[in-house]
């Protein structure tokens, strides 16, 4: 299968709710970058996180294997620093190989679950 997608993606929306209706990992409020690497080489990703009132954080390093998907929770990023909850942010994802990126949030504060999702912006 040929590689599909692009090597640079932006997600302008980002917000990890600090509260959740449930401690069930599937229902904890979370925000994810879903990444598809359909190609035959592992993709090395570098993620930078932008904020409203401070310099960016990162880069965060992530690998998505060949012919694999990764549903990366921003909640789980800890190196070089945790992403603060209840704080607006945005992200820029650079990849060594073409990938496809989709942004999804599950918000379970209310206490009902709300979902959003969108294809990320492909920067080329």
Q: Give the residues lining the site for a second copy (CB under 8 A).
A: 1, 4-5, 8, 10-15, 17, 21, 26-27, 32, 34-38, 48, 50-53, 55-56, 67-71, 86, 88-90, 92, 99-110, 112-123
The residue among 73, 64, 56 whose CA lies nearest residue 100 is 64
Q: How far is the CB of 81 from a second copy (least distance, A)?
A: 16
Which C-beta is closer to a second copy: that of 81 or that of 119? 119
By C-beta, is 82 or 110 nearer to a second copy? 110
Cβ pair 57, 48 in contact under 8 A:
yes
Q: How far is the CB of 41 from a second copy (least distance, A)?
A: 14
Which sign does the torsion angle of CA 112, 22, 119, 10 carry?
Answer: positive
Shortest reach from residue 110's CB to a second copy, in Å: 4
Q: Using alpha carbons, select from 55, 54, 123, 71 the residue that is nearest to residue 92.
A: 123
Helix (H) or strand (E) run with residue 9 in it = strand 6-11
Pick the closer one to a second copy by CB: 1 or 78: 1
């Amino acid at each position: 299968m040929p590689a599909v997608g692009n090597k640079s993606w932006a997600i302008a929306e980002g917000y990890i709710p600090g509260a959740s209706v449930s401690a069930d990992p599937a229902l904890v409020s979370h925000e994810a970058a879903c990444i598809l690497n359909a190609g035959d080489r592992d993709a090395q990703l570098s993620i930078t996180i932008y904020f409203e009132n401070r310099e960016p954080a990162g880069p965060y390093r992530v690998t998505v294997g060949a012919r694999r998907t990764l549903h990366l929770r921003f909640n789980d990023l800890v190196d070089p620093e945790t992403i603060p909850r209840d704080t607006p942010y945005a992200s820029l994802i650079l990849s060594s190989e073409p990938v496809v990126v989709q942004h999804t949030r599950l918000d379970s504060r209310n206490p009902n679950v709300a979902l959003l999702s969108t294809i990320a912006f492909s920067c080329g």
